[in-house]
A and B are shown apart, each in its own frame.
Chain A
Amino acid sequence: MSAELRIENLHVAIDGKEILKGVDLTIRKGEVHALMGPNGSGKSTLSYALMGHPNYEVTAGVATINGTDLLSMEADERAKAGLFLAFQYPTSIPGVTVANFLRHAVTNVRRPDRKEGEDLMPMRDFRKELREQMEALGVDGEFARRYLNEGFSGGEKKRAEVLQMAMLRPSFAILDETDSGLDIDAVRIVSEGVNRVAESQGTGVLVITHYKRILDYIKPSFVHILFGGRIVESGGPELVDRLEREGYDWIREKYPEAARDEDELEAKEAASLAV
Chain B
Amino acid sequence: MTPATAASRPRQSLPASFGDDAFEAFLRRRDEPEWLIERRRAAFASFQALPWPSARDEEWRRTDIRGFKAADFAPPEAVAVSERDHAAIAPLVAALAGSYATGTATINASTTQRADARTLGGAILVDLPTAVREYPEIVRRYLLTDCVNPAADALSALHAAFWTNGTLLYVPKGVKLAAPLYSLVALAGAGRVDFDHTLIVLEDGAEAALVRETASRRTEARSALHVGAVEVFVGAGSNLRFVNIQNWDDDVWHFSRERALVDAGGSIQWTVGGLGARLAKVNQEVMLRGERSDAQVNGVMFTTGRQHLAYFTRQDHAAPHTHSDLLYKGGLLDGSRIVWKGMIRVEKDAQRTDAYQKNDSLLLSEESRADSIPGLEIEANDVRCTHGATAGRVDEDMIFYAQARGVPRETAIRLIVEGFFANVYDRITLEPVRETLRQAVAAKLGHGK
Residues of A bordering B, CB below 8 Å = 51-54, 74-76, 78-80, 85, 87, 90-91, 93-96, 100-102, 104-106, 108-109, 116, 147, 164, 168
Check if B423 sits within 8 Å of A53, measured CB to CB. no
- Mask of B390-413 contacts with A, CB within 8 angstroms, 1/0: 000001111011111111111110
Selected from B395, B405, B419, the residue in CB contact (under 8 A) with A147 is B419
Which of chain A's residues have a CB closer than 8 A to the CB of B421?
95
Check if B419 sits within 8 Å of A76, measured CB to CB. no
A109 to B406, CA, bound (A): 5
Check if A51 sits within 8 Å of B398, measured CB to CB. no
Check if B400 sits within 8 Å of A53, measured CB to CB. yes
- Which B residue sits closest to A106, measured CB to CB? B406
Can you list 10 pairs linking A and B with CB atoms under 8 Å apart?
A: A74-B409, A80-B406, A85-B404, A93-B402, A93-B416, A95-B420, A95-B423, A104-B411, A108-B411, A168-B405
Which are the 3 A-B pairs with shortest beta-carbon distances? A95-B419, A95-B422, A79-B406
Selected from A78, A90, A95, the residue in CB contact (under 8 A) with B401 is A90
Check if A93 sits within 8 Å of B400, measured CB to CB. no
Which of chain B's residues have a CB closer than 8 A to the CB of A164?
405
Check if A96 sits within 8 Å of B418, measured CB to CB. yes
- Which B residue sits closest to A83, measured CB to CB? B404
Check if A79 sits within 8 Å of B408, measured CB to CB. no
A76 to B413, CA, bound (A): 13
Selected from B401, B407, B409, the residue in CB contact (under 8 A) with A91 is B401
CB distance from A19 to the nearest CB of B (A): 18
CB distance from B411 to the nearest CB of A (A): 6
Among the interface residues A91, A100, A106, which one has the most CB atoms of the partner chain B within 10 A?
A: A91
- Mask of B411-435 contacts with A, CB within 8 angstroms, 1/0: 1100110111111000000000000
Check if B419 sits within 8 Å of A93, measured CB to CB. yes
Among the interface residues B401, B405, B407, which one has the most CB atoms of the partner chain A within 10 A?
A: B405
A109 to B423, CA, bound (A): 28
Check if A105 sits within 8 Å of B407, measured CB to CB. yes
Selected from A52, A53, A96, the residue in CB contact (under 8 A) with B419 is A96
Check if B405 sits within 8 Å of A101, measured CB to CB. yes
Interface residues on B, range: 20 to 34
Check if B408 sits within 8 Å of A76, measured CB to CB. yes
Selected from B401, B407, B419, the residue in CB contact (under 8 A) with A87 is B401
CB distance from B33 to the nearest CB of A (A): 51
Check if A79 sits within 8 Å of B419, measured CB to CB. no
- Which A residue sits closest to B423, measured CB to CB? A95
A51 to B420, CA, bound (A): 26
Check if B404 sits within 8 Å of A108, measured CB to CB. no
CB distance from B182 to the nearest CB of A (A): 27
A136 to B409, CA, bound (A): 31
- Which A residue sits closest to B397, measured CB to CB? A91
Check if B407 sits within 8 Å of A108, measured CB to CB. yes
Check if B398 sits within 8 Å of A104, measured CB to CB. no
Which of chain A's residues have a CB closer than 8 A to the CB of B400?
53-54, 75, 91
A54 to B404, CA, bound (A): 11
Check if A76 sits within 8 Å of B403, measured CB to CB. yes
Contacts A95-B419, A96-B422 known; A101 to B402 CB distance under 8 Å? yes
- Which A residue sits closest to B419, measured CB to CB? A95
Contacts A79-B404, A94-B420 known; A116 to B411 CB distance under 8 Å? yes
Check if B416 sits within 8 Å of A76, measured CB to CB. no
Contacts A104-B415, A147-B419 known; A93 to B405 CB distance under 8 Å? no
Which of chain A's residues have a CB closer than 8 A to the CB of B422?
94-96, 147
Selected from B406, B418, B423, the residue in CB contact (under 8 A) with A105 is B406
CB distance from B435 to the nearest CB of A (A): 14
CB distance from B337 to the nearest CB of A (A): 24
Contacts A104-B415, A147-B419 known; A93 to B408 CB distance under 8 Å? no
Which of chain A's residues have a CB closer than 8 A to the CB of B416?
93, 96
Which of chain A's residues have a CB closer than 8 A to the CB of B412?
76
Selected from B396, B401, B403, B410, the residue in CB contact (under 8 A) with A93 is B401
Which of chain B's residues have a CB closer than 8 A to the CB of A80?
406
Among the interface residues A76, A91, A109, A168, which one has the most CB atoms of the partner chain B within 10 A?
A: A76
A34 to B84, CA, bound (A): 70
A272 to B97, CA, bound (A): 59
- Which B residue sits closest to A75, measured CB to CB? B403
Which of chain A's residues have a CB closer than 8 A to the CB of B401?
87, 90-91, 93
Which of chain B's residues have a CB closer than 8 A to the CB of A109?
405-406
Which of chain A's residues have a CB closer than 8 A to the CB of B423?
94-95
Check if B397 sits within 8 Å of A108, measured CB to CB. no
Check if B403 sits within 8 Å of A79, measured CB to CB. yes
Check if B409 sits within 8 Å of A100, measured CB to CB. no
A-B contact sample (8 more), CB < 8 A, given A79-B405, A105-B405: A52-B403, A52-B404, A75-B404, A76-B405, A78-B404, A91-B400, A95-B423, A96-B415
Which of chain B's residues have a CB closer than 8 A to the CB of A104?
402, 407, 411, 415
Which of chain A's residues have a CB closer than 8 A to the CB of B404?
51-52, 75-76, 78-79, 85, 87
Which of chain B's residues have a CB closer than 8 A to the CB of A91?
395, 397-398, 400-401
